[in-house]
Structure 1
Amino acid sequence: MTRLILATRNPGKITELRAILTDADLPHELVGTDAYPEIPDVKETGVTFAENALLKAHALARATGLPAVADDSGLCVDVLGGAPGIFSARWSGRHGDDQANLDLLLAQLSDIADGHRAAHFACAAALALP
């Protein structure tokens, strides 16, 4: 059975990946970063979702000696040139404050007609081996 670490403290993400691996009939033991409290959070210094996912996966694989899975994701609004993009979780300046991020985004779009507010959610995932 393969032991994997997922770069998250979010139990929902762990549950989702467990289900994916189980449905694919891949034997696994999956843990989140909470299993290694001594490992600090990895700074997301990449300029793309893929770079940030790779940074996190490589750092965790090195620190734990386990295969590591990481992702980075965010909302990309066309009329804002793809912003907030990699900054989605901290768009308002406060990391993880979903309401503040939403309020700022809606304020920035307030003079844009509804039909011109196209956006998409982007996600990149990475697997790094120790």
Structure 2
Amino acid sequence: MKLFIATSNLNKVREMKEMLGDLDVEILSKEDVGELPEVEEDRGSFAGNALKKAKVIQQQVGLPTIADDSGLAVDALDGRPGVYSARFAGKNATDKENNRKLLGLLSGVEDNRRRAHFVCMMAFVDEAGSEEIVEGQCHGEIGFEPRGDNGFGYDPLFIPDGYRKTFAQLDSKVKNKISHRAQALEKMKKLLLDRGL
């Protein structure tokens, strides 16, 4: 059985392969098939973006496909950056630029108002066009400066509930148990097992 992960983010591919490693499936990604179309994330929700990516890529590769859209929602910013998390500081912004913009907007915001959560919506589309969507969330707060070298995106700023370290300081095994993507993947794994994968 083969399963395709529709993302060009190699960090996500690595994370998802680790978390799905105990399934009896061959996990493929962009690296295994060459060029794929860049799917524009133009929907107004994480679920809409994830489903669009899964459908487009599934039609290209002809394999059961998983795609996710995830991002950070900060309470003090009314849920921003949200679906714009990857391009918060501009279309081709780096992680550092996005983090810098976030810290700038939160400058002067006190500890008790720095609550945030990561959201991951994960979509699955099979060869017959059947669709499934699951959600994972991880709650925490935004630190005052980047800390740690693991992870990507906003990981150096996000301190999950129950921990004093940022995602970027935690061991990947710990992060892969508690993250929004881990929670979505656990639900997805159950769906895949129920389908006989």
TM-score normalised by L of structure 1: 0.88
Relative CO higher for 1 or 2, CA cutoff 8 Å, sep ≥ 6?
1
> Do structure 1's residue 34 and structure 2's residue 34 form an aligned pair?
no
CA RMSD of superposed structures (Å) = 1.6
Q: 1:75 aligns with which of 62, 69, 72?
A: 72
- Report the CA distance between 1:112 and its aligned residue: 1.7
1:13 aligns with 2:12: yes
Alignment gaps of 5+ in structure 1: none
Q: Aligned pair in 2 of structure 1 residues 17, 95: CA closer, same or farther (>3 Å)?
A: same
- 1:66 — aligned with what? 63
Q: Percent identity?
A: 42
1:123 aligns with 2:120: yes
What is the deviation of 1:96? 4.7
Instruction: State whether residues 78 and 117 of structure 1, in contact with CA within 8 Å, keep that contact through their aligned partners in structure 2.
Output: yes
- How many residues in Structure 1 have an aligned counterpart in Structure 2? 127
Mapped to 2, the partners of 1:94 and 1:88 lie a distance apart of 10
| 2:92 partner amino acid | H
Instruction: Say which of 82, 86, 94 aligns to 1:85.
Output: 82
Structure-1 residue corresponding to 2:140:
none
The DSSP-based 3-state class of the residue aligned with 1:30 is strand
Q: Which runs of 5+ in 2 are unaligned?
A: 128-197
Instruction: Pick closer, same or farther for the CA change 1:21–1:105 going to 2, 3 Å.
Output: closer
